[in-house]
Chain A
Amino acid sequence: MSEKPRIGVFVCHCGLNIAGVIDVKKVAEEARKIPGVVFSTTYVYMCSEPGQQLVIESIKKYKLNGVVVANCSPSLHQRTFRNAAARAGLNPYRVEIANIREQVSWPHEHEPEIATRKAIRIVKATVERVKNNMAYIPYEISINKKALVIGGGIAGIQASLDIAEAGYEVYLVEKTPSIGGKMILLSETFPTLDCPQCIETPKMTDASQNPNIHLYTYSEVESVEGYVGNFKVKIRKRSPFVDWDICKGCGDCTEACPVDMINEVDRGLSTRKAIYRPFDQAVPSVFTIDKRGTPACTAACPIHLNAHGYVMATKARRYDRAWEIVRKERDFVFAASAARICTHPCEGACKRQLVDGKAVGIRDVKRFVTDWEFEKFGGPNIDLTVEKERKEKVAIIGAGPAGLQAAFDLRKKGYKVTVYEALPKGGGMLLVGIPKYRLPKDVLQKEVELVEKIGAEIKYNTKVGKDIEFKEIVDNYDAVFVAAGAHKSRSMGIPGEDLEGIYHATHFLKKINFDENVELGKKVLVVGGGNSAMDAARSALRLGADVTVVYRRSQKEMPAIPEEVHDAMEEGVKFMFLANPVEFIGNGKVEKVKLIRMELGEPDASGRRRPVPIEGSEFEMEVDNVILAIGEKPDLSFLGENSGIELTPWGTIKVDTVTFQTSNPKVFAGGDVVTGPNTFIDAVGHGKRAAISIDRMFKGEDLYKGREHEGPFKSNLVGDINRAVILPRMPENKLPVEERIKGFKEVVMTPKEDEIVAESTRCINCSGCSECRLCEEKCEPKAINHFLKDEIIEVEVGAIIVATGFDLMPMEKLPEYGGGKIPDVIDALAFERLLAASGPTAGVPRRPSDGKIPKTVVFVSCAGSRDPAHGVPYCSRICCMYLAKQAMLYKHVVHDGVAYNFYIDIRSNGKGYEEFVQRVREERDLIYLRGKVSKIFQRGDKVVVWGADTLTGQKVEIEADLVVLSNAMIPSEGTKELAQKLRIPQDEYGWFNGAHLKLRPLETVTAGIFIAGAAQFPKDITDTVSQASGAAAKVLSMFAKPKLTKDPLVANVNTEVCAGCGICKEQCAYGAITIDPKKKVSVVNEALCEGCGACAAVCPSGAMQLRNLNKKQIIRMVEVLTEDY
């Protein structure tokens, strides 16, 4: 203020609110003494019309250039007096409020003298502030006259319709596939008993038909930028994997879909398919595929074979489709071998184990499918089409699982592939190490032949390092893949190991597999606890020996697959645990073994407990033969000297874990040469991944990009374990033991069709859609697209209405009421579905456990509400009413039923509500009990409710058939994230806050963003619809103006002083501050700034100042306030 201050001070009595405590006359007298104050007075209600008139006339009469009104909080009447000043011709920003009510008269009610002194001081300080107040003109902002409505429940629909009907465009965004919200799920609405199907569906249709409404369902707000009148919004339209422009909503797809999912619309009381429409009256009336990611089984598989997919196709008895998934989708050469001997990491990861401890028999399903394939096509049937002939040549060393899979994949891409194999046949360890009774050799050979059929050459009987030098291969080919396996037996390093009659397991098994003669005595000792030990023991048994397996730890620690151990025991193999040989004794040929007893000590690096020898516990055993099955290691002598291939300290080839590239960029390696002895399926995975690397290398592509999830990974997706089909895992279809031990006939036979189909129903569908793609076949208009991607839509709007509604407190949060573990304790929305004609029971309530019509139903109010211990001290407001309605509707359907309704208070504060409740209370066999339920538990097939009837002062125990809880209402999921995106505040429970609880309930503190419906606080449909129309009216009153004005009292940067440190930027809750990259100074977006002052408070240099509350003003005010101290 450059001219001489002429300030008027107006002290308000506020009736007795202020004057009852403070000597207002004295305040006015003292104010008059302040230099610069030319007039002061008091009035009983300064905010009233005569009070405002007094201010206006005084401004004119005394030519005031500043005004201080000493009254209530500025949030109430600052605007009132600024407007009054403007009417008198004074710049409104020269008016300030001295708050002497909330800050003085109320807190100092019993000490009037102190209050008066404090009031005088606050008035003085405010006068000092006003002396330095500048005159400002409000900003003008243009408006983009389109609105965004978030949430497609009844609030969002109503608000959208109101705005659209006024002629403005609306983007209506809904998270689920259909609009309608919670209301459409209700049976009938209180107190008029209108059915939502009749009163809401027309509005839903209107919303979808209105040309001004752009409907985005299955969509979410991704980001919001900008400010009032000019928001930029990104909407993520999630892929429904169905082209909604083509989908006709016929529902044929659901008939094909084998995946049963919990139907969330029916609160889990029914199932739906993975491809679904939420309910028949859905808008838009189209289908969506529920995909949740990669399930644990597929994720755990080293080649990501879609286990979920072929299990589901099998469930649908579509073995042709299952075969395509098993064999063709991943070009899996060894599918039929895998179906027999895979260590099935898929089953290890299977979440079905959380239900009953037993994984789904995924390998059994695969066995059924590949046997179906062999039966139908006479052998493995894979797609042998070569993409396009290419000139590059690849050599592969080793015709095992890794080498042959890589050979197939590379040949398919068109490369010329040559495989070098030392043995006369292909298959690697599958050929030599796995006995025929587990993997018949013709099955394996037919699969090996696939590699030759696609055109890869296999040079048998060609040992690299002997028949051809490794270096020669490297020189003659464009790339080499080393997959020679681990065939060299480890030794125990104890005396007598070289005695005659002692075999190494791989050598022993190889001989049998090549039908060579093996001399075996009567008593055979097998040393080791792995799969090779089991194979050796069972093979020896089949040759007529008496076999004992000795293992140094206990059965629990055995690395062999448990079913192998089980089979061995069943067939008569003896086991000796916690013992280990220390010496083999014999004269040329082994005759005796000296063993020592072991005990388990501390866990070692593998996590298993380390075996420790017990001193002095040695004992001897007579044997004819010993088979050592203590592991193998790679034999890399073929690489020769100076191969240029770097090895690891463990004698394996060192490779990059993503690309499988060795230290020589054109040489790749995979399988056991890299890992040491490992599983077959890991080796296949290595082969596939190395093939990708080699292909990328030839094409000059990045070898690393986008390969994070190529190897096995963990998936935490879990289906609904509480509602899994109850069925024990099917037993394997095995030969009888007597048959088995006679020879080498395959032990496990084809699973029975009905059993395997039943087994596939045990899958709990962790990922939703199994991608079996049976729906595609059924869809006539070809609307389904499993590869459809999410879309980002960018829109510009001037205003936003948030109507995201509510959820119910989860049952798990209510342990006293069963915590969701008692099937016949359900939430009220579930009971709505049971009462709804469109619900899972067509309107006749049936209880979840056994489908019986409940004859005794207990309704429980305040389940979590009005309960600070559960974090919800508030009343959910609608439960009293809907429970009354539900009890009445129940009685209308089940005439001989008895309903009990526990309540703390009945809150029926709406038009017609109390009369409704009174009517319900007088219903026959409908009993209201005043008291909170203390405990609910299962007793037999009944649910027992313990409560009190406080009106008689007695406890009550009721044995009920069904209990309905009115779970507390809580903000809907994702509210917090949305609040952050929109920068609007929530209360401590997560509900959105209005700018003022009483006077501005629909506006948020962020200009241009409004709230409607239960997202603000629990409310019924009537209030929700009213509020939605109110929020729409707020938007329309904004759109009715040509321009918006905005308070100019924002932050302002002194660019001469600002150092661009950015501290202010981090403090700004509204995203209004940016740092100019060139000038290195803060820049305030005045349209976004809400004038809170946080930036000015943290600015270390004082460059950031709030207009009309700058540092100078603040310091002057503090000086005045503290001058007595």
Chain B
Amino acid sequence: MKDVIDVSKLDRDFKYRVIEEPGGEGLLSCFACGTCAASCPVREVDERFNPRRLIRMAILGMKDRVLQDEFIYLCSGCYLCQERCPQDVGITELMTALRNIAVREGYLHPSFKAQLEFVYKLGRLYELTDFDNKKRQKNGLPDLNPVIDEVKILLKEAGLSKFVEVRELSTHSFLDAQFL
């Protein structure tokens, strides 16, 4: 059954890894009041995004689903929830912590992966063409190298190159479950 939580598959230690991550310390204090969900501007755009639910899944140990959740990237960092949380969970910073863990565990959102591939291949986020260099020449600026290979070295050093070379991320959203 798709919607049933199989408790034997829960990662019961996950919550302790989160609270050890800088920014994740307040996770266990959450008592699910929903103030965060009521404050979140992202949730105003789309009901599917719900910080309370994400925190809940993290406490339960639903690691894979948390780390593959789009929301941890969609969080706009407005700090409204963090200001209003009665239990000092520190939700905005918790999202940062979850992103960091996700990347370390090998999860990266497809949009970030696409950008990363650009940066890795070209050294920048957009492709530099002859047209660009012509315009630069017209304005008296020097040509730029279309490919900056040093960035590759930096990304390799930072451990990000694995997403380009090895991982092929699935693109389907994990947030299609119904809310109650």
Give the Cβ gap from B30 to chain A, nearest Cβ, in Å: 9
Instruction: Check B80 for interface membership: any CB of A closer than 8 A.
Output: no
Does chain A have a CB within 8 A of B152?
Answer: no
What sequence of 0s and 1s flags, for each residue 1-37 of chain B, a beta carbon within 8 Å of any chain A beta carbon? 1011111100010001000000000001101100000
Q: Which of B49-57, B106-114, B122-130, B138-146 contacts A (4 or more CB under 8 A)?
A: B49-57
A921 and B28 form a contact (CB under 8 A): yes
Specify the main secondary structure of chain B where it touches its partner.
mixed
With contacts A898-B12, A949-B60 taken as known, whether A954 is within 8 angstroms of B4 at the C-beta atoms is: yes
For residue B56, which residues in chain A have a CB less than 8 angstroms away from its CB? 949, 951-952
Q: Are A918 and B60 in contact (CB under 8 A)?
A: no
Contacts of B12 in A (CB 8 A): 898, 924-925, 927
Q: State in angstroms the CA–CA spacing of A951 and B179 once bound together.
A: 9
Q: Which residues of A contact B28 (CB under 8 A)?
A: 921-922
- Whether A953 and B180, one on each chain, are in contact in the complex, defined by CB atoms closer than 8 angstroms, is yes
Q: A898–B11 Cα gap in the complex (Å)?
A: 12
Q: A955-B4, A956-B7 are in contact. Are A918 and B180 (CB under 8 A)?
A: no
Shortest Cβ distance from A947 into B: residue: B5
Contact between chains at A900 and B60 (CB < 8 Å): no
Chain B residues within an 8 Å CB radius of A927: 7, 12, 59-60
Closest to B27 in A: A922
Determine if B158 is an interface residue (Cβ-Cβ < 8 Å). no
**A721 on the B face (CB < 8 A):** no
- Chain B positions 160-180 with a Cβ under 8 Å from a chain A Cβ: 177-180
Binary contact readout A916-959 vs B (1 if CB under 8 angstroms, 0 otherwise) = 00100110110101100000000000000000011111111111
Q: Is A949 within 8 A of B5, CB to CB? A: yes
How far, in angstroms, from A369 to B153 measured CA to CA in the complex? 97
CB of B102 within 8 Å of the partner chain: no
**Measured between C-beta atoms, what is the minimum distance from B61 to chain A in Å?**
8
User: A929 contacts which chain B residues (CB < 8 A)?
Assistant: 60
Whole-angstrom distance between the Cβ of A407 and the nearest chain B Cβ: 76
Give Cα distance in the complex from A263 to B142, angstroms. Answer: 95
Given contacts A918-B29, A922-B28, contact A951 B5 (CB under 8 A): no
B177 near A954: Cβ-Cβ < 8 Å: yes
B98 within 8 Å of A (CB atoms): no
Would you call B3 and A954 a contact (CB within 8 A)? yes
Contact partners of B52 in chain A: CB under 8 A: 951
Choose one: A898, A951, A955; the contact of B1 (CB below 8 Å): A955
Closest to B12 in A: A925
What residues on A are CB-neighbors of B119 within 8 Å?
Answer: none
Contact A957 B6 (CB under 8 A): yes
Q: Is the CB of B62 within 8 A of A951?
A: no
Interface residues of B in 58-84 (CB under 8 A from A): 59-60, 62
For B29, the chain A residues whose CB sits under 8 A away are 918
CB distance A951 to B53 under 8 Å?
yes
Give bound CA distance, A921 to B52, whole Å. Answer: 17
Bits for A6-49, please: 1 = Cβ < 8 Å to B, else 0: 00000000000000000000000000000000000000000000
B53, A952: Cβ atoms under 8 Å?
A: yes
A957 engages B31 (CB within 8 Å): no
Closest to A959 in B: B8
Give chain A's interface residue range (CB within 8 Å of chain B): 20 to 34
Q: Are A952 and B8 in contact (CB under 8 A)?
A: no
Q: How far is the CB of B92 from chain A (nearest CB, A)?
A: 20
Q: How far is the CA of A906 from the CA of B31 in the complex (A)?
A: 10
Cross-chain contact A956 with B5 (CB below 8 angstroms): yes
Cα A839 to Cα B3 in complex, Å, equals 41
Chain B residues in 8 Å Cβ range of A922: 28
Q: Which of B1, B16, B57 contacts A952 (CB 8 A)?
A: B57
Chain A residues positioned under 8 Å from B7 (CB to CB): 900, 927, 956-959
Q: Say whether chain A's binding surface is mostly helix, strand, loop, or mixed.
A: strand
**Contact in complex: B178, A953 (CB < 8 Å):** yes
Complex interface: chain A residues within 8 A of B32 (CB):
930, 951
Closest residue of B by beta carbon distance from A957: B4
- Give A345 Cβ to nearest chain B Cβ, in Å: 55
Q: How far is the CA of A925 from the CA of B57 in the complex (A)?
A: 15
A542 to B8, CA, bound (A): 70
Contact B4 A956 (CB under 8 A): yes
A949 CA to B4 CA, complexed, in Å: 10
What is the minimal beta-carbon distance from A958 to any residue of chain B, in angstroms?
5
CA distance in complex: A427, B65 (Å): 88
Q: How far is the CA of A956 from the CA of B6 in the complex (A)?
A: 7
Chain A residues with CB under 8 A of B180? 950, 953
Q: A958 — nearest CB in chain B belongs to which residue?
A: B7
In the complex, how many angstroms separate the beta carbon of A68 from the nearest chain B beta carbon?
A: 51
Residues of B within 8 A of A925 (CB): 12
Residues of B within 8 A of A950 (CB): 180
Q: A898-B12, A922-B28, A924-B16 are in contact. Are A952 and B60 (CB under 8 A)?
A: yes
Considering only residues 943-998 of chain A, those with a C-beta below 8 Å from chain B are 949-959
Cβ of B175 to closest chain A Cβ, rounded Å: 12
In chain A, residues 867-919, which have Cβ atoms closer than 8 Å to a Cβ of chain B? 898, 900, 906, 918
The closest CB in chain B to the CB of A928 belongs to: B59
Shortest beta-carbon distance from B16 to chain A in Å: 7
Most chain A Cβ neighbours within 10 Å, of B5, B57, B62, B178: B5
CB pair B5–A953 under 8 Å, yes or no, is no
Judging by beta carbons under 8 Å apart, are B16 and A955 in contact?
no
| B99 to A: closest C-beta gap in Å | 20
The answer to whether A953 touches B60, judged by C-beta atoms less than 8 angstroms apart, is no
Contact (A952, B62) CB under 8 Å given A898-B12, A957-B7? yes
CA distance A950 to B178 in the complex (A): 11
CB distance from A711 to the nearest CB of B (A): 62
A317 → B minimal CB distance (Å): 50
What is the bound-complex CA distance between A821 and B117, given in angstroms?
A: 61
User: Could you mark each residue 32-45 of chain B with 1 if its beta carbon is under 8 Å from any beta carbon of chain A, else 0?
Assistant: 10000000000000
Q: Which residues of A contact B1 (CB under 8 A)?
A: 955
B5-A957 in contact (CB<8A): yes
B179 x A953 contact (CB < 8 A):
yes
Are the C-beta atoms of B31 and A955 separated by less than 8 Å?
A: no
A954 to B52, CA, bound (A): 14
CA distance A959 to B10 in the complex (A): 13
Q: Which residues of B contact A956 (CB under 8 A)?
A: 4-5, 7
Instruction: Determine the chain A residues whose CB is within 8 A of the CB of B3 once the complex forms.
Output: 954-955
Shortest distance from the beta carbon of B11 to any chain A beta carbon, whole Å: 12
Q: Which residues of A contact B178 (CB under 8 A)?
A: 953
Q: A645 CB to closest chain B CB, in angstroms?
A: 83
What separation, in Å, do the CA atoms of A899 and B53 have in the docked complex? 21
The verdict on A955 contacting B5 (CB below 8 Å), with A898-B12, A927-B12 known, is: yes
B67: min CB distance to chain A, Å = 15
Interfacial chain A residues near B31, Cβ < 8 Å: 906, 918, 921
Per the bound structure, the CA–CA distance linking A714 and B129 in Å amounts to: 105
Q: Which residue of A lies closest to B16 (CB)?
A: A924
Closest to A950 in B: B180
Bound: A906/B62 CA distance, A: 23
Query: Of all chain A residues, which has the CB nearest B177?
Result: A953
Measured CA separation A952–B179 after assembly (Å): 8
Chain A residue with Cβ nearest B2: A954
Cα distance A922–B27 in the bound complex, in angstroms: 10
What distance in Å separates the Cβ of A1049 from its nearest Cβ neighbour in chain B?
Answer: 53
What chain B residues lie within 8 Å of A949 (beta carbons)?
Answer: 5, 56, 60
Q: Once bound together, how far apart are the Cα atoms of A789 and B104, in whole Å?
A: 80
- Provide the bound-state CA to CA distance between A955 and B7, in Å: 10
Q: A104 to B179, alpha carbons, bound, how many Å?
A: 46
**What's the Cα separation between A930 and B16 when bound, in Å?**
20
A198 to chain B, nearest CB (A): 32
Task: Please name 12 pairs of A and B residues whose Cβ atoms are closer than 8 Å in the assembled complex, sorted by A.
Answer: A898-B12, A900-B7, A924-B12, A924-B16, A927-B7, A927-B59, A930-B32, A950-B180, A952-B5, A952-B57, A955-B4, A959-B7
Q: Which residues of A contact B (CB under 8 A)?
A: 898, 900, 906, 918, 921-922, 924-925, 927, 929-930, 949-959
Q: Pick the 3 closest A-B CB pairs, nearest first.
A: A953-B180, A951-B56, A955-B4
Which chain B residues have a beta carbon within 8 Å of chain A's beta carbons? 1, 3-8, 12, 16, 28-29, 31-32, 52-53, 56-57, 59-60, 62, 177-180
7 more A-B residue pairs beyond the given contacts A953-B178, A955-B4, with a C-beta to C-beta distance below 8 A: A925-B12, A927-B7, A949-B56, A952-B60, A953-B180, A954-B3, A956-B4
